Structure 1
Amino acid sequence: MRKSADWMTLWDDRLLEWAEAHDSVSAPDVKDTEYFKITRPHISRRLRKLADHGLLKELGNGVYVITDEGEAYLEGELNASELSEQTNGEDTAEV
C-alpha cells in the first residue's frame, strides 16, 4: 500500500504511474488522454509539486522523468510524508 503525504492528490499517483509507464510525463502529453480529467495548468502544478519533493525530475520544457524515490513510492517502499520540498538540489529527507 502506498503511503502518500498531506500535500498529495489522487492525480499525483496517476501522474507518477504515467511517468513510469511512458518514460516521461508532460502536461501536454497527458491532458488529452482519457485518464486525466483536470486542466493542463493543474497538471503542470502537480508535476512541479512532485518534482519539488523529489518524486520527479524536470528535464526542461515541462518534461519530467520519475526518480528512484518516485518508483519507490509507487512500489509502496517510500512514505511520501517523510519527504520535504527540495531547495537547490538538497536532500529531500526530513531530519
Structure 2
Amino acid sequence: MSRIDEMVERVSWFSPVDYEVLLFFENHDIEASAKVISANIEYDRQYVNKRLRELAEEGLLQKSEESGLYELSGLGREFLSGDLDASDLERDDE
C-alpha cells in the first residue's frame, strides 16, 4: 500500500485534490506553481491554488516569499514518510 493510499480518509479536512498535490510533491522534489501542479494532476488551476494556500496554512507546504512557488515543508515530509500521524493534522474544530 502506498503512502497516499494510507492518507485517504485519514485527515478529515483534506479535499481529494490535496492527496494529488501531496503525491505530486512526493514524486517531484521541486518548487512549483499552481499552474505547473494543476497541469500535472489535471485539476483546475484556481482550485489547486486555493488548496495550496490551505496546505501551506496548515504547515504541509511552504511558499517562497521571493518566487511564490510551493514546496513540501518539513512537516509535509514527515507526514509523507509516515513519521507524523494523520491525527496530528486534525483541526480542533473538526
- Alignment size in residue pairs: 83
TM-score, length-normalised on structure 2? 0.70
Q: Quick one: percent identity of the two aligned structures?
A: 29
Structure 2 Cα separation of the partners of residues 26 and 81 of structure 1: 28
Which segment is superposed worse, 8-17 or 76-85? 76-85
Structure 2 Cα separation of the partners of residues 84 and 58 of structure 1: 21
Structure 2 Cα separation of the partners of residues 75 and 8 of structure 1: 18
Show the counterpart of 2:44: 39
Alignment of 1:30-69 (within 5 A): 30-33=37-40, 36-60=41-65, 61-69=67-75
Structure 1 unaligned segments of length 5 or more: list them: 86-95
RMSD: 2.2
Structure 2 unaligned segments of length 5 or more: list them: 1-5
- Is the 1:53–1:84 contact (alpha carbons within 8 Å) kept by the matching residues of 2? no
Could you tell me how far 1:23 is from its partner in structure 2? Answer: 1.3
- Is the 2:29–2:71 contact (alpha carbons within 8 Å) kept by the matching residues of 1? no
Structure 2 Cα separation of the partners of residues 84 and 2 of structure 1: 12
SS at match of 1:17: helix
SS at match of 1:5: coil
1:7 aligns with 2:13: yes
